[in-house]
Amino acid sequence: MPRRYGPFGGSFVPETLVPALHELDRAWREARRDPEFRRELRRLSETLGGRPTPLYFARNLTRRARGAEIWLKREDLVHGGAHKFNNALGQGLLARRMGKPRLIAETGAGQHGVATAMIGATLGLDTEVYMGSVDMERQKPNVERMRLLGAKVIPVTTGARTLKDAINAALRDWIANVRTTHYLLGSAVGPYPFPAIVADFQSVIGREIRTQSVRAFGRLPDLVVACVGGGSNAIGTFRPLLRTKVELLGVEAGGPRGSKGAGSLTSGSPGVLHGSFSYVLQDQDGQVSDTESISAGLDYAGVGPEHAWLKESGRARYIAVHDTDALRAFHWLARDEGILPALEPSHALFAAVAEARKRPSTQHVVVTLSGRGDKDLGVVLGAAR
């Protein structure tokens, strides 16, 4: 696992956090080599998390696209309803190994908060989750879930009151309580070693795609597609395929038509946010822009540094999909396949259908369905009114 991604990455943090980041890096490197840790991670991934998740042939959606075959990597079936569990479990086990009795986390859509609350309960760790008050309003069911799972949800009322501000609040808490607390960061962002750790725990997605696609259709896919908020489900999908010829497509939130949305790679520029050098949506003075997206999970001005490098090096492509198109794809999957996707992967689904249309029926497109749509019903019904 690299510490730097070309010019991107690094750890731009206050000095008080440096020892904690070193401790975390050491613990993670030791844990990766420890067969006991790997056994426990695997056991809980399977028996609690429900892994491996299926690779599903979306026959009706393929018929709609009239082109390449579309296959879905079903992370919506993971315990808790999203891929977030993969990372929360891994880091929760790391926290226990480091002897930290308390977990803190930030959350946008609420999915990472729910995953952390579940793992906190499973492993017997105190859990507190920072959440922007705007996000608490639009993702109410997940706020209730976190509370039922025994976590404390702390509203963040600074800035735009969304994910960026929740991360700032969690970082402040961590600085103050670093001896007893593990900051369970929810995406492939932040200072090193977080992007590497999160990518590592999410890479199970791409490893399973590798073996399952060979089993299902005899070879690797031609293209994999994943949505990009901070970039964890996408890097987990891409990483095990980096040294192959598989095309990689990341899909950001374009927001409402005519807005700048939340596409840091597609509309932003290089800069530092939350401790790492990557792409950021910012103005000419380097002030971080407010973002806009129908999906709380993609509503973030930054992105993981490894994606910045994959873009710059040309290994992966990134595009943005607008709110209305994501909603269209949501309804396609509901009607065609009987699956309610989360709004985040609905962005990727729209792009996958558009790509499949351009390709012959002999090709295979795999799209990572990062989560299920139950949490978004209010937003989807509101949009239809």
Interacting residues with ligand PLP (CB under 6 A): 82, 84, 109, 111-112, 187, 227-234, 297-298, 342, 344-345, 370-371
CA 43, 49, 50, 52 dihedral sign is negative
Pick 216 or 301: Cβ nearer ligand PLP = 301
- In the complex, the smallest distance separating the C-beta of residue 174 from ligand PLP, rounded to whole angstroms, is 19
Q: Is 133 a catalytic residue?
A: no
Q: How far is CA 220 from the centre of its chain?
A: 23
Q: Is 370 a catalytic residue?
A: yes
Q: Is 84 a catalytic residue?
A: yes
CA nearest neighbour of 92 among 144, 37, 152: 37
- In the complex, the smallest distance separating the C-beta of residue 247 from ligand PLP, rounded to whole angstroms, is 19
- In the complex, the smallest distance separating the C-beta of residue 281 from ligand PLP, rounded to whole angstroms, is 15
The overall longest dimension of the chain from CA atoms, in Å, is 56
- Kindly give the pairing relationship between strand 269-273 and strand 276-280: antiparallel
CA 326, 328, 332, 334 dihedral sign is positive
- In the complex, the smallest distance separating the C-beta of residue 36 from ligand PLP, rounded to whole angstroms, is 28
Catalytic residue, chosen from 69, 75, 106, 252, is 106
Radius of gyration of the chain (CA): 19
**Residue carrying the six token digits 């939130």:** 253
Pick 104 or 216: Cβ nearer ligand PLP = 104
CA 115, 117, 120, 125 dihedral sign is positive
- In the complex, the smallest distance separating the C-beta of residue 339 from ligand PLP, rounded to whole angstroms, is 13
The CA distance from 11 to 200, in Å, is 18
Catalytic residue, chosen from 11, 232, 267, 370, is 370
CA nearest neighbour of 281 among 313, 308, 242, 256: 308
Catalytic residues: 84, 106, 370
